[in-house]
Structure 1
Amino acid sequence: MSDTSPPVNIEAAPQGGFIDAIVEIAGARSDAPQTLGHVVDALDDRAFGLLILILAIPCLVPGLPGAQLIAIPIFLLGLQIVFGRNEPWLPGWAMRAKLKPEWLTAIADFASKRLRWTERLSRPRWRFIAHGAGEKILGLIIALAAVTIMLPITNTIPSLAITVAAVGLLQRDGMFMLGGATLALGWITALGILIFGLITGAGFAASFVADHAPWVAEWFK
């Protein structure tokens, strides 16, 4: 079945600050639910950064139901930055995903009230990080951070890292890009150590029980 909902009605691509761009996208929608594809069509040359930011904001909510699904488009967008795509591509199911007006409004309100400081503090700088290889490395880190969002109840910290990184992409701010990358890598490392510890700890415990207290294993038979 084809999507018959009306497209986002924006006279021109938003050219002001990125927070105002998000507010404009939310304010330009009709009362009918829009699709993610309509939002993508409304974005300008900052599409990657804006789209990643719009997707990351709701994932900041701890334990958000559905964060695992939202992380999939973020993962795909991160990989596309790595491979140097000029325009974002998402699979059909993602482009057809409905975005309720209230959801877009909530994202815009959060961005306007809580993220204005990032717009004030960020600016084009550290261009050796903000372009070329630095941008591709950041795309890979965003993709890896998105993978950790897919794990149960682990979405807030990586989403914050992705949000900061997305601001860096939008503003061509190498400092914000580095900050987001550092937070993401720190989280990925900590999570990896925790998972490794749980796996090795469980293996050690099982081995210890088998060698020294085999009667414990009988409880679980």
Structure 2
Amino acid sequence: MTDARTPEQKDDVSHNVTRLLRRLADDGGDRGLTLHEIRDRMDERAYGLLILLLSIPCLVPGLYGVPQVVGVIIILVAAQLLVGREEPWLPRCMLDLRARGSWLKAMADFAESKLSWIDRLSRPRLTRFADGPGEKLAAVFMILATLTIVLPMTNTIPSIALALLSVGLIQRDGLFVIAGAAVATAWLTLLGALAAGLLLGAEWATRLLPG
């Protein structure tokens, strides 16, 4: 793989999320960038930033279609983070997918208007939860949260968990990782309780049927 990053990009230690997203939008211009080009512009936080990029569109409530598609990519990327792969690998058919310039700009605008608080609050802390074994545990919660995205009308809350987990990895902020894991756990618990209630309710109802 050709490394398209400049020395300035490689040495950027601030990891300002909104600035990273704006830089991608500026680099893409009107034509946009392929996932391959986006990946090549990332630094050592490639996993976190790539999953954040994919989770932002899924924050739209009730969205159907897009979360189901990007969910497959998120699971593939998170699984590689879990097994300790140095950089994310994607099939050529996925790497050739192009994010339109208008989409990258809209995403950067959204981040600056709605997610600027992330850059104000996040910073390196509790790093044991955002690196090494903590990073792998974050990948597990990412996979679990993404599995619920494929369900209709359930994409927003797990996407919030993904965004928090991703920012935690980008900024090496263990507090954000813990918050993302807590949101994912609460959501999975709620879905499990609802599913159990439906099953128990269905079983109770069948007992009332004749014969």
Task: Answer whether TM exceeds 0.5 for this pair.
Answer: yes
- Comparing 175-184 with 62-71, greater Cα deviation is found at 62-71
Q: 1:200 to 1:93 in 2, by over 3 A?
A: farther
After TM superposition, the score normalised by the length of structure 2 is: 0.89
Distance 1:62 1:119 in 2: 24
Hey, what does 1:134 align to over in structure 2? 134
TM-score (norm 1): 0.86
- Name the structure 2 match of 1:192: 192
Larger RCO: Structure 1 or Structure 2 (Cα < 8 Å, ≥ 6 residues apart)?
Answer: 2
Alpha-carbon distance between aligned partners in 1 of 2:80 and 2:210, rounded to the nearest angstrom: 48
User: Counterpart in 2 of 1:48?
Assistant: 47
Matched AA of 1:103: W
Q: Following the alignment from structure 1 to structure 2, what is the Cα–Cα distance between the partners of residues 38 and 46?
A: 15
Tell me if the contact between 1:10 and 1:28 (Cα under 8 Å) persists in the aligned partners.
no
Task: Give the partner amino acid of 1:62.
Answer: P
Q: Are 2:39 and 1:13 equivalent residues in the alignment?
A: no
Tell me if 1:57 matches 2:60.
Answer: no
CA distance 1:128–1:34, change in 2 (3 Å) = closer
Q: Is the 8 A contact 2:161 2:181 kept in 1?
A: yes
Larger CA deviation: 37-46 vs 175-184: 37-46
Aligned partners of 1:56 and 1:162 also within 8 Å? yes
Q: Please say which structure displays the higher CA radius of gyration.
A: 1
User: Unpaired segments of 5 or more residues in structure 1?
Assistant: 1-8, 212-221
- The share of aligned pairs that are identical, in percent, is 43
Q: Within 5 Å, which residues of 2 pair with 1:97-112?
A: 97-112=97-112
Judge conservation of contact 2:130–2:168 (CA < 8 Å) in 1: yes
The number of aligned residues is 204
Structure 2 distance, partners of 1:90, 1:195, is 33
In the other structure, the counterpart of 1:114 is: 114
**Paired residue type of 1:179:** A
Q: Please name the residue that 1:94 is paired with.
A: 94
Runs of 4+ in 1 over 3 A off after TM superposition: 9-12
Unaligned runs of 5+ in 2: none
